[in-house]
Each structure stands twice: as structure tokens, then as C-alpha cells.
Amino acid sequence: MLDRADGRRRLIAKLSIPPGNRADYWMLRHGPMLWFRPWRLVAGLMLGCAVGVKWSALSFVAVFGILTVLWDLSARRTAGIRHWVVSGLWRDGILAFFQIIRWCWPPT
């Protein structure tokens, strides 16, 4: 939940337009990328610990991964980004997948 609130706050901050300036066409069309998400990193570490204890926690990893992508899509739609599905999946979805899987996958 902390990642959801932080992601929405950062998305709105990057979309905010100073008074007297015009909105950037590209920014309203696809939206900004929210590169590093520290709460998502912490969630990946905790899910990795859960998988290390019991392999059945992999289902939680899958559900959490889908949930975070859906939250990002919802945030982009609420912010008024025109192509929120495509930009959410390509700009944030792939990065979210690798952030969760990289820190969740048990070392060999």
C-alpha cells in the first residue's frame, strides 16, 4: 500500500505543470516513467523471504505482481494520461516485473 501511495504521489508530481507553461504533449500521451520504487524493492525482498521458507508463496508473488501493475494502470488513468494501458504496461509494467522477480528469486 505504501508503494501505491508513493507511486501516485510521484506520478502527480512529475505531471504537475508550472503556472504559465503548456502541458507537454508526450507527457500527457504516455506519462512519465517512475524508475526506482523503494517500497516495491522491500516487498520483493519480503516475498523472496517467504518463497525461501515455503515454495507455495510463489502464488503470492504472482498475485502481488499483477496487483502492482493494475495499481499503476489505475494511477495513470486517474492522472489523465491518454494511452494509460499501453504506457502502463510498457513503461512501468516490465520494470515492475523485473524489480519484483529480481529481489524475490532465491539465489542458487
Residues 3-37 pLDDT 10s: 778 777 887 777 776 666 666 666 677 677 777 78
Residues 70-103 pLDDT 10s: 888 888 888 777 887 887 777 777 777 777 777 6
Q: Model pTM greater than 0.75?
A: no
Q: In 16-106, which residue ranges form alpha helices assigned H by DSSP?
A: 25-30, 38-53, 58-79, 84-87, 94-104
How many Å apart are CA 85 and CA 63, to the nearest integer?
Answer: 19
Q: 6: part of which helix (H) or strand (E)?
A: helix 2-15
Instruction: Give, in degrees to the nearest 5, the angle at Cα 70 between 1 and 44.
Output: 50
DSSP state of 90: I
Counted residue by residue, the chain has a size of 108
